[in-house]
Every structure is written in C-alpha cells, then in structure tokens.
Amino acid sequence: MASTGRPTGLADQQGSGGGALDGWDDDQLRALGVDPGRLRGLARELLHGDDDVNRVRGQVEPPREDDVAQLPDRDSAEGSRLTALGLDAMRRGELAVVVLAGGMATRMGGVVKALVEAVPGVTFLEARLAERTYWADQAGASLPMWLMTSHATDEAISDALAGVRDDDVAQFRQHASVRLTPEGELFRDSEGNLSLHATGHGDLPDALRQSGLLDAFIERGGRVLLIANLDNLGASVDPLVLGWHLDHDDPLTVEVVDKGSERGGIPVRLNGRPVVLESFRLPVGFDEAAVTVFNTNTFLVDAMAVRDLDIDWSYFRVEKAVGGRPAIQFERLIGQLPEALPARFLKVPREGAQSRFLPAKDHPELERNRPSIARRITRFLRSRHH
C-alpha cells in the first residue's frame, strides 16, 4: 500500500493578497497549508451575500428526454457486447477506481466512515478492498484503487491499510481550510484552536494530479477512472457500465437513479448544456419535481480529461453548527465536472440485485440496505479468503 501527497489546503490553489481582517493570524493559517489571501477572497465573495449567493445564473431547464440513457439489459446482445468491451479494457489495465473516503460519519457518532462495519465483521474499507481484489483477479491485470482521504480520516485509513501489501492501493489527501464565524472572524473552538474542514469532493482532480498517481496511470496505458462514494457499495466495478462509457465519445459518464425521498444533485440543462446542479444551486422557483432522477455521485471519466481539466471551480458557502455555534465553510463539488467536460447521463438500477445505489448515510439507512449490501459483496468477500 502506498501513501502519497502531503497535507494540502487552499494554499495549493491560486492565492491573492488582501488586507488583514480582525482575528486572522496569517502565519498560523499558512502553517496549516491555507492561503490567507485566497480565504479572504472567498470570504469577500461569499460570506455576506444573500441567500442566492450559491445559485447559478442563466437559464435552467429539465433535461431533454435523450439526455438520460438507460443502461442496457446485461443479458441482451447489446449488454453482452458492452460487457465484453469493458472486460477487455480491464484486462489491459485501463481502469482505476477512486474512492471518496474523506468523510466522517457525523450521523453515526462522528467516526471515520471507512472503519464503520458495512456488514457485521466487514468495514466499508475492507469491502472496497475485497472488491478490488476480486476484479483484479477476474481481469488478470492491475486494478489500482486510490482512496481520497481528508485531514480527519487520513491517519486512521493509513493505519487500517498498514497490512496491505499492494502497490495498486494508495491514498491521497484532499484539501483543507478553516471555518469562519458568520462575522468573518476565524472560528475557534472552546480551547482557542482553529476549526479545520475538508473543502469538498471537488478537490479530487487537483489533489489526484498533485499526488502523481494519475500521470503514472496514464503513462502505463490507463484510460478510465471510476469515482464513487466509499459508502455506496452498489457503485462497484461493472464491465457493462465501463463498456457503455467506452462506447460513447464523451469523456464523462454520470450515473443517475430514480428519485426517492432523498435530495441531491439533479441533471438539468444550464444555458443548453447538460450539467448537475444541487438544490441550493437551482434558481428560485425551479420545479425540481420536473426531474425524476438524481445524481448518485458516481462517475466514469477519461483519465486524460482529468489530467488536462481546465475549470474555474466554484466555491459554495456552507453553514454548519460546530459545538452548538454557527460556522461558515467554503466547499466545491465534484458534481461540477459536467460544467467542464461533455457528459452523458446513464440511468442505472436503483432496486433489485443489480442496484448501483445502496447508500448508508446513517444507521437507519445502513440497516435498511444491509441485506442488499451483504448480497452484493458476498462474492468479493469469498475471493478474499482464497
């Protein structure tokens, strides 16, 4: 198991100067890897804006009917053709899996989510590692799995991986910044310490490029990244989905499922372009009910497109309660990828044995989905013992 990259923060992105704000200790911020000028710029732009500060500007419409494709039945002739296409790519070592593992399970008591048991005796991390081993064995080829950790999870995940002796398993750390008070001062806890936070899954392209893992993957013939949430074990490697992605010309595939009671990013058209927008980014009055699917935060993306990505990432103001007090943090979203890369939306199964959406955000949801999770990962776990 390899670990790469140093603790990174907003200092790793473009910075700018600025006048001092009361309560800011610039030297302390720099020591944490945070660029004070960049943070000031975000504070000026987002901190004191109205409720519309996060909303997009422009014309937003529901997706067109042909914007969302249906995953072919895997037993059909087309499904078989695409599955073979995906398996051939895997045998050539063209796939890498990127797992979003920076989260603390705040709704499960504030523990590292990777170390929560997905099923009795098996953590989410162990399930993901078993999946990687299974598919590497099936393909008979290298299958890198990279875990994007955060300042809150990096050490615990590193410790959990200490016994893994596999150069194809690595971790890299997403960026971090510090919270502010609603008045624009540095947020400090009761002991006077600054309050760190991860700056969002939108860090992934920058952090992955900085790690060196992406360049090395491309140099040895790698082509596609599967990006998935750690706790959605439905979003596993699937040659059919990989084949579908390889069969179209656009560099990005976004997986969507039928809406349930959840709220999440939805596919829409922004000024005529298919994108994903979270609820808080939608214009006031937009009818979310007009869109019947939502984004699962699972993507297949061409590796070279990530390497060459040129996007002016948006940061969003997020309000949190920390220690019973209001705090503000600035984050960016991996869901902005379709704003930079031509994308196709793929509707995948939500229910049944082939479900690609088995979330576990809290204990009740995990308990509801555990039988399905157990069925899904059984074959991976069997391979772990051979």
Domain boundaries, the chain: 2-6+48-384
Q: Report the first-to-last Cα separation within the chain, whole angstroms.
A: 20
pLDDT for residue 140: 96
- Residue 107 banded pLDDT, cuts 50, 70, 90: low
Q: Are 102 and 114 in contact, with CB atoms under 8 Å apart?
A: no
24 vs 80: which has the higher pLDDT: 80
- Residue 87 scores a pLDDT above 60: yes
pLDDT, tens digit, for every residue of 219-239?
A: 999 999 999 999 999 999 999
Which of 3.40.50.20, 3.90.550.10, 3.40.30.10, 3.40.50.300 would CATH assign to domain 2-6+48-384? 3.90.550.10
Global confidence as pTM: 0.92
pLDDT for residue 99: 98
pLDDT, tens digit, for every residue of 276-321?
A: 999 999 999 999 999 999 999 999 999 999 999 988 889 999 999 9
Q: Are strands 122-123 and 145-149 parallel, antiparallel or unpaired?
A: unpaired
What does the alpha-carbon distance between residue 384 and residue 386 come to, in Å, rounded to a whole number?
A: 6
pLDDT, tens digit, for every residue of 351-366?
A: 998 999 999 988 899 9
Name the residue among 112, 109, 110 with its Cα closest to residue 149.
112
pLDDT, tens digit, for every residue of 242-283?
A: 999 999 989 999 999 999 877 779 999 999 999 999 999 999
pLDDT, tens digit, for every residue of 125-159?
A: 999 999 999 999 999 999 999 999 999 999 999 99
pLDDT, tens digit, for every residue of 5-28?
A: 433 445 444 443 333 355 577 888
